Amino acid sequence: MSRILPLAERVIVIDSFSTDRTVEIARAMGAEVLQHAWKNYSDQFQWGIDNARPTTSWTMRLDADEYLEDRAHAELRLRFDALPEDVTGLTFKLKVIFRGRWIRHGRYYSTILLRLWRTGVGQIEQRWMDEHIVLSHGRTEHIAGGDLVDHNLNDIGWWIDKHNRYSTRHMIDYVNRTYRLFAEDRRIHDTAAAARRKRFMKNNVYGRAPIYLRATLFYLYRYIIRAGFLDGKEGFVFHFMHGFWMMMLIDAKIDEARSFIKAHGVDAFRAHVKARHGLEV
C-alpha cells in the first residue's frame, strides 16, 4: 500500500471479512476499508466501485499483491494533465515476480492490462475468471515507462491452494459455454484489443482443442517455443505449475463436470458446486 499512497488521493480496501490484521493495518496506513462477502473477483470489485463511490478524477484497480514501479508513477505524474479528453483508460504491462525472480519469458511478459480509467467510465466484466475492465466510451493509451508488478510473497503451498481455486472458476466459465449456467459478459469486445485477442485465442483456439492434450501442447509452447527455459529454476517451476499443472487440473475438472451433468443434470451440478466449493453459479 505504501507504493500507491504517494500517487493516490484516496485508497479504498475492499475486505472480505478477513480474520488477520488486514483491516487494522490498512486503516493505520490511511486507507478506507469496506467489507463485503466474497463471491469472485468481478463481483467484489464491482461492489467496491458501486459502494465506495470514488470522488477522484481517475480510478485504479490494484490487487493485494500488486504495485506500480516508480517509473510508472513518474510517467503518470507527467502525463495526467496532458491527456486528451477522449483518453479514458490507461494500460500497463504486467511483470510477474515468482519466488523472487522476474518471469520475463514464456509469453508471460506480453500481458497488457487496463487498470486505470476516468472515474465513472470503467466497469468490470461479470465473469468467474479472467475478468477485465470495460470502458463505456473513449480510448486507451499505454504507460510504457514502468510496469504493473505482481509480486506475491506467500509460499508455494499458498500458491497451489490459490490456483486450485482458480481452476474451479475457470472450469465454471468453460462449462458455461456449453450449458448456459449464466449469461456470459462479452463487453470486452468493445474496448481492449490486447485482452480481446487473448480471449479469442482462449475461446476459439485453446478452448476447441482436445482436453488434456491442449495442456501439454500449451506447456511445450510456453517453455520451449517461447523460451520459458530462460527463466531459470524458478521459471521451470512457474511455467510447469502455471502452464501445465493448472491447465491439466482445469481440464480434469471440466471432464468431471461434464460427466456429472450428463448423469445428474444442470440443477444438480449447481447444487454440487455450491455444496463443494461454496460458489453460487
Ordered per-residue pLDDT tens for the chain, 281 residues: 888 888 889 999 999 999 999 999 999 999 999 999 988 888 898 899 899 988 899 999 999 899 999 999 999 999 998 999 999 999 999 999 999 999 999 988 988 999 999 999 998 887 888 888 989 999 999 999 999 999 999 999 999 999 999 999 999 999 998 998 887 766 654 455 666 777 778 878 888 999 999 999 999 999 999 999 999 999 999 999 999 999 999 999 999 999 999 999 999 999 999 999 988 88
Could you tell me if residue 58 is inside a domain? Answer: no
Q: How far apart are CA 102 and CA 255, in angstroms?
A: 34
pTM of the model: 0.88
Question: Could you tell me which of 197, 184, 66 has the C-alpha nearest to residue 125?
Answer: 184
Q: Total structural domains in the chain?
A: 1
Give the pLDDT of residue 190. 46
Could you tell me if residue 92 is inside a domain? Answer: no
Could you tell me if residue 214 is inside a domain? Answer: yes
**β-bridge mates for residue 122, sequence order:** 135
Q: How far apart are CA 203 and CA 113, in angstroms?
A: 19
Could you tell me if residue 126 is inside a domain? Answer: no
Give 66's contacts (C-beta < 8 A, 6+ positions apart). 148, 149, 150, 151
Could you tell me if residue 234 is inside a domain? Answer: yes
H/E stretch holding 94 reads strand 87-98
Range of the domain at 271: 156-277
Question: Could you tell me which of 23, 24, 26 has the C-alpha nearest to residue 11?
Answer: 26
Could you tell me if residue 31 is inside a domain? Answer: no
Question: Could you tell me which of 168, 162, 124, 131 has the C-alpha nearest to residue 278?
Answer: 168
Could you tell me if residue 250 is inside a domain? Answer: yes
Place of cell 472458476: 169
Could you tell me if residue 171 is inside a domain? Answer: yes
